[in-house]
Amino acid sequence: MKIGVVLYPTFGGSGVVATELGKALAKKGHQIHFITYSQPVRLGSFHENIYYHEVSVSNYPLFEYQPYETELTSKLVDVVINEKLDLLHVHYAIPHASAAFMAQQILKAQGIRIPFITTLHGTDITLVGKDPSFEPVIRFCINASNAVTTVSESLKNDTIKYFGIERDIQVIPNFIHIQENSSVFCHQKLRQKYAEKDEKIICHISNFRPVKRIEDVIKIFALIDQKIDAKLILVGDGPDRYMAEKLSRELGLIDRVIFFGKVRDTNHILPIADLFLLPSETESFGLAALEAMAVGVPVISSNSGGISEVNSHNFSGYLTEVGDVQRMADFAIGLLLDTNKLSLFREQAKRRAKEFSLDLILPRYEKLYCEVLKQ
């Protein structure tokens, strides 16, 4: 199949999922055309069967706000015609689904059929989508898509609840490419660089937006730090980074908190951690938690949104109410102090992650593509 993939090229989970899905489909022989405004961060080096089409955003002085949606639509029309695409798969509703719909209509007028699938990822529904000014467009595009998927049951329920959607929505969870061959030796060497032998490493990865509750991450670590020698590794960047640095200084933790900033491939860092924190206000899935679990790092998380569909309480980690910093810290301390339990949870986290293995999820997307093409 020739598939156009529309995505955000940044560090956000939707872009990561879209890129990894495209790469996996390309490996299976499909021709993948990524369409977005800059090279997707997870795309990496050259891949056979992968093409990248950059949407150039003009800066005509008349426009105070650049018409990205229009530029994207034009690019979609162009790529569908010239690359003879079979279908479009758009990740994140805003503005990708509406651009795909517009392209579909333009192409229809030229006698070309191009179905599009919309995958909803989370904040397009739960945060941005709930802003009433977006509601008419999002609702329309969800209904107009040839197929709609969500990354969790929780997000499907939110979509139905917030937008009154009655059409069929398929849940296809996010996935992980399990790599068994990572070198324990390399991880040990890296670990020694950031922590003493008897120190534990706690990790958090996000885009540092308020929804991630970075303040809770720091406060949980402060409580852990009172009982256990530990370091906190923070990966990512965003609006709350300054606040996180300030709070770490105020709490006298700054020499134990390491800010890595944005990292393209977190696979190198995650395996050196003992525990992963994800205390988000809401999370449709929690891909970062799954990535941690896949390399044997148990997760302490909130129980909001779809996280409980990924992190299994008292198995791959623990879940608590949003904002219950003390309970999250108690669970963390209990686990870190009990070596046998920590080893058990490490294994269980890996086992749980395997349920989201790429091999299991990929055929579900391929089946959906075939169904849409037959419509």
The contact set with ligand GMT (CB under 6 A) reads: 12-15, 17, 92, 121-123, 126, 151, 174, 207, 209, 211, 282-287
Residue 213 CB-half CA count within 13 A: 20
Whole-angstrom distance, CA of residue 61 vs CA of residue 282? 39
Q: Are 17 and 91 in contact (CB under 8 A)?
A: yes
Q: Minimum distance from CB of 184 to ligand GMT (Å)?
A: 28
Q: Minimum distance from CB of 89 to ligand GMT (Å)?
A: 14
Nearer residue to ligand GMT within complex by CB, 14 or 98: 14
Tokens linked to 94: 């805003």
Among candidates 316, 281, 305, 267, which has minimal Cα distance to 20?
A: 267
CA distances for 351 relative to 58, 289, 343, angstroms: 48, 14, 13
Q: Minimum distance from CB of 287 to ligand GMT (Å)?
A: 3
Nearer residue to ligand GMT within complex by CB, 215 or 229: 215
Nearer residue to ligand GMT within complex by CB, 41 or 329: 41
Q: Minimum distance from CB of 155 to ligand GMT (Å)?
A: 7
Q: Are 33 and 60 in contact (CB under 8 A)?
A: no
Q: Minimum distance from CB of 147 to ligand GMT (Å)?
A: 17
Helix, strand, coil abundance in the chain, percent, nearest 5: 45, 15, 35
Q: Are 290 and 265 in contact (CB under 8 A)?
A: no
Among candidates 241, 256, 261, which has minimal Cα distance to 194?
A: 256
Tokens linked to 52: 């990248």
Q: Minimum distance from CB of 169 to ligand GMT (Å)?
A: 15
Nearer residue to ligand GMT within complex by CB, 174 or 312: 174
- 170-171 vs 50-54, strand pairing mode: unpaired
Task: For residue 311, give every residue at least 6 positions away whose Cβ sits within 8 Å of its Cβ, in sequence order, or none.
Answer: 278, 286, 289, 293, 299, 301, 317, 319, 352
CA distances for 171 relative to 102, 121, 155, 233, 364, angstroms: 25, 11, 9, 32, 10
Nearer residue to ligand GMT within complex by CB, 13 or 296: 13
Nearer residue to ligand GMT within complex by CB, 40 or 195: 40
Q: Minimum distance from CB of 302 to ligand GMT (Å)?
A: 11
Nearer residue to ligand GMT within complex by CB, 40 or 286: 286
Q: Are 146 and 307 in contact (CB under 8 A)?
A: no
Q: Minimum distance from CB of 16 to ligand GMT (Å)?
A: 7
Nearer residue to ligand GMT within complex by CB, 13 or 191: 13
